[in-house]
Every structure is written in structure tokens, then in C-alpha cells.
Amino acid sequence: DHILLFNLTNSFDDTLIPELVEWKNNLDGKILDIHYSFYLKLFFILTDEKLFSFNRLSSFICLHRFTSLPWSCTTLLNSIYILYKYSTIIEQWTFQETSPSIQLIKQWKLNEIISECEHDQHLRCIRANPCQNQLAILIEDDECRWRIALFDHNMNYLHQTNMLMNASTIDWNLIFSFISDQQLIIMDATTENIYLITIDQNTSSTECKQFSNSECPVNACVITSNGYSQLILKVVKPNMLKFFQI
């Protein structure tokens, strides 16, 4: 297996060719999540066994080996937030650049930060909105219904959206990403639905669009460089990246 690194200096170039970096699942585990920190200028790669940091000038550095199965990660400044698959625990770790290593700072249970959450059973995905200094978590209740909850960097509860209509009950097929300071998209690879959520202070609205012909994106990110922002969508069939100027 390989990790693909794209140089997006000129992402409108039709000959965009990725750099291949070898990845050994049998040694380092299956990759579950990848996150790039603009603040630390590092990739963080979460597998079912370990957490790695990586940049093009050095090799992979193992920061931590897990005893429980991790599920998703994100960064905010020098903090790394980690979710676990079979729990409703959120952990905050601090990255130590001099070592390099990570140190566990704090751990929260969902019922400590959200009231009336006795029916919640899974935390699927966590993402940061650096411009707003906020974190968002995709939460599933015991009726397999999904919603987004927003928190500040200390996990103080801010807001949550309504339940997503007609979303999949297969949790590993749901992922989301911020595409602006006040908008995020949730991609459901099972139902091929895309949810666009707009958040304005303590209110939110949700739009849903269903894709066809297997062109539904399964992941997304926004890259901003030299004053220009691009939305990049990863689709499976055809297996490609799509770039949109925003």
C-alpha cells in the first residue's frame, strides 16, 4: 500500500502526479484517518494501532501505540484530539516538538459535556474549525440517527444540529469536513447523500443532495493558498480528485 502526496502549488495542472510513499499495513496498522496541521506543518496519520507524525523531509515518527481501537483525530494549534470506536470518550493530547512526542492532557466522557445524552452511543468523526477555535463531532444515538455537536477547544458545549434525515446506519461510511468558517459537509457513501450544514451563531440549517452514477464524494478538504481557496472532493467511481475554486 501507499500514501499519495500531492503538490497543490498548481492544482489546476491536468498532469498533477502524486508522490508515492510506501505504507506497510502489517507493521504499522490500517490507516483510519489522516489530518494535516497547518500550525505544526505536519501530517498526523491515525491507524488502528498507532499515531504517526510525518513530513516530506523526515520519516514517519510513531507518537503513540493504542490499547483501545482509535477512530478519528484532528488538531487545533498544538493539541491533538482523538476519538475511540467503542466508547464516547474524547482525549486531548499535546504535541511536543522537541521530543517529538505527545502527552495526554485531558479526557472527557460525552455525558460530562452534553446534558441529556443518555441515548448517544457512538462518536464517529471529529474535525476542527481553526478560524473559530471550535471542534465538531459527529454523534450517533441508539436509534442510529446522526447529528453534529460543536464545542470550543476546552470541550465546552456550544451548539448541535438537528438529526440528519435518511442518513446511513453504517457508521464507517460517514465523514465530514469544514469547507468554510460557517459551513461543513457530511458525506454518506452508503446512501450517496451529501449534507451541507450552515452554522450561524446558535442556529444551523441543513441541505441534502443525493448523487447518482456513483459520483458521490467520500472525503473533502479546502486548501487556501495565496488568497485563493479550492474545494477538493475525493470520489471513488471514477477514482479521482475533483477541484473547485471557491
Q: Which residue has 442518513 as its cell numbers?
A: 167
Does the structure show a pLDDT above 60 at 11? Answer: no
The span from the CA of 223 to the CA of 11, in Å, is 10
More confident site: 194 or 229: 194
Q: Which pLDDT band, with edges at 50, 70 and 90, does 14 fall under? A: low
pLDDT (tens digit, 9 = 90+) per residue, 233-245? Answer: 888 878 888 888 8
Whether the Cβ atoms of residue 194 and residue 206 lie closer than 8 Å to each other: no
Amino acid of residue 15: T
Q: Where are the domains of the chain?
A: 2-206
Selection from 149, 198, 189, 193 nearest residue 170 by Cα: 189
Residue 22 half-sphere exposure toward CB, CA atoms < 13 A: 3
Q: What three-state secondary structure class fits 105?
A: strand
Give residue 146's Cα distance to chain centre. Answer: 16
CATH code, 2-206: 2.130.10.10
More confident site: 59 or 154: 154
Least confident residue range of 91-105, 147-161, 202-216: 202-216
Tell me the C-alpha to C-alpha distance, in Å, between residue 64 and each of 48, 80, 241.
Answer: 11, 12, 31
Does the structure show a pLDDT above 90 at 33? Answer: yes
Does the structure show a pLDDT above 70 at 63? Answer: yes
Q: Which pLDDT band, with edges at 50, 70 and 90, does 213 fall under? A: low
Global model pTM greater than 0.85: yes
% pLDDT > 70, the chain: 94
Grid coordinates given for 228 = 485563493
Residue 194 half-sphere exposure toward CB, CA atoms < 13 A: 19
More confident site: 214 or 188: 188
pLDDT averaged over every residue in the chain: 87
183 forms bridges with which residues in the sheet?
198
Q: What is the mean pLDDT of residues 166-179?
A: 82
Amino acid of residue 64: H
pLDDT (tens digit, 9 = 90+) per residue, 78-105? Answer: 999 999 988 889 999 999 988 889 999 9
